Amino acid sequence: MNNRVVRYLSFILAFALGLSLTATAQSEEDESFENELSYGVNFNSNGGLIGGVFVRSVYPMNNRMYQFGGLEIVEIKHPKENRLYSETGDQFIAGKQNYLFVIRPHYGREFVLFRKAAESGVQVNAIAAAGPSLGLLAPYYIRYNYGGPGGEDIRTEQYDPQKHRSLENIMGNGTVFQGLSESNVNFGAHIKGGLSFEYGRYRESIAGIEVGFMLELFPKEMVIIPQAENEQLFTSVYLNLYYGRRK
């Protein structure tokens, strides 16, 4: 796991918790609502610049406990991915055979640790959730020149370490959509826990961050780079930025 990512998320967690403890709005006044719908972007230690997107619907159970259902779509990258440039200037990832996209429906609970006032402050919730994982191994296509030096016979194919041995002959990668319809579907499960820091000045709108840890398991190795070690158990720290509304 990337130590820089862990330190960064730890700093955010400590900073946000400090804000919540010093806020003057730790009132026990109830913010009654029927439903809360939020959406946002995900950053995690197994993803790229942006790991994915999510949406969540929350319903109150009592003054301190909420239940929610959510859906998250992310891409998991291999830690050995190395982006290179071909002689034409196009990019490709050396040795990559598949993309790994994961669709995660889940059910969870939120427990209010520190409550904000109705119009301002910071609310801190403890969060736990679990659900199935739908892992899509989509072929990673490259444009490969079979013509050799001075020739040109460029074909767009899924990377194969037995056929595509020369990096110099790789002209670039194809698009994600070329292999998405050929995805190999794999079923797994995931569980996560974390803290949510909710900000906002208005009763009807919310914004915040969620930080936590996720554990995800598939019954077999998810091959992204065939010539490297691949995993079936994935662990990650994550950061969600979200916005939503209540009614």
Q: How many domains is the chain partitioned into structurally?
A: 1
| Residue 224 CB coordination number (10 Å) | 23
Tell me the percentage of the chain whose pLDDT exceeds 90.
63
16 has pLDDT over 80:
no
Look at residue 237 and tell me if it is in a domain. Answer: yes
- For residues 115-139, give the mean pLDDT: 88
**For the chain, what is the mean pLDDT?**
86
Q: Is residue 165 part of a domain?
A: no
The 3 state secondary structure assigned to 48-91 is CCCCEEEEEEEEECCCCEEEEEEEEEEEECCCCCCEEECCCCCE
Q: Does position 8 have pLDDT exceeding 70, yes or no?
A: no
Please give the pLDDT value at position 247. 83
143 in a structural domain: no
CA–CA dist 22, 180 (Å, integer): 48
Q: What is the pLDDT of residues 206-221, one digit of tens each?
A: 899 999 999 999 999 9
Residues 25, 50: Cα–Cα separation, whole Å: 32
pLDDT exceeds 70 at position 109: yes
> pTM score, two decimals?
0.84
> Does 201 map to a domain?
yes
Please write the tens of the pLDDT for every residue from 187-201. 999 999 999 999 876
Instruction: Give the domain extent around 17.
Output: 3-138+179-246
Residue 174 lies in a domain: no
pLDDT digits (tens, 9 = 90+) for 63-84: 889 999 999 999 999 999 999 9
Q: Report if residue 146 sits inside a domain.
A: no
b/e code 57-85 from CB counts within 10 Å (16+ = b) = ebebeeeeebebebebbbbbbbeeeeeee
CATH number of residue 189's parent domain = 2.40.160.20
Residue 164 lies in a domain: no
Q: What is the pLDDT of residue 203?
A: 64
Q: Is residue 110 part of a domain?
A: yes
The pLDDT value given to residue 119? 62
Q: 164-179: per-residue pLDDT in tens?
A: 988 889 999 988 888 8
